[in-house]
Structure 1
Amino acid sequence: MKARVHVMLKDGVLDPQGEAVRHALGSLGFEGVTGVRQGKVLDLDLEDTDVEAARARLGDMCEKLLANTVIERYDIEIG
């Protein structure tokens, strides 16, 4: 089973990397970009066959390692 986890900074948390990308885009002539948020995408191959069990296990993975839940949120896609 394939799964994808998107990890992003929570709203209100400063994103200096995103701001640097926004600034660089402006410097390259890409005007009108008023905000950039940077995150990460993790693709996982799982042996699970039960979608709900896999979702629960992925949630545990995110809570324990893949995301810093103090400042980041995550979304799980299975398919």
Structure 2
Amino acid sequence: MKRITLELKDPELIRWVQEYTGAPSLSEAIFQALHELRSRLDRQRQELLDRTYGLWEAEDQQLEEALRELKAGWNTWRMP
């Protein structure tokens, strides 16, 4: 188990997270909140994949060219 130290910048947020989770300790409340956040993000990512399923399987040459151009554009934004 690792120990971390938090700087208390927003006491209201700390109080809220403990009330929201109902956890008996601050550390448990924070980890429950982080776990819920990660679960929500995973669900949103899966929902997006489900909604776009099939778009990437199209055999359209124009679509493939557009995706190549998009990838090339994104590659210019990547950090070295």
Over alpha carbons, which structure has the higher Rg?
2
TM-score, with normalisation over the residues of structure 1? 0.28
Q: Relative contact order (C-alpha < 8 Å, sep 6+): which is higher?
A: 1
Which one has the bigger strand percentage?
A: 1
TM-score by length of 2: 0.28
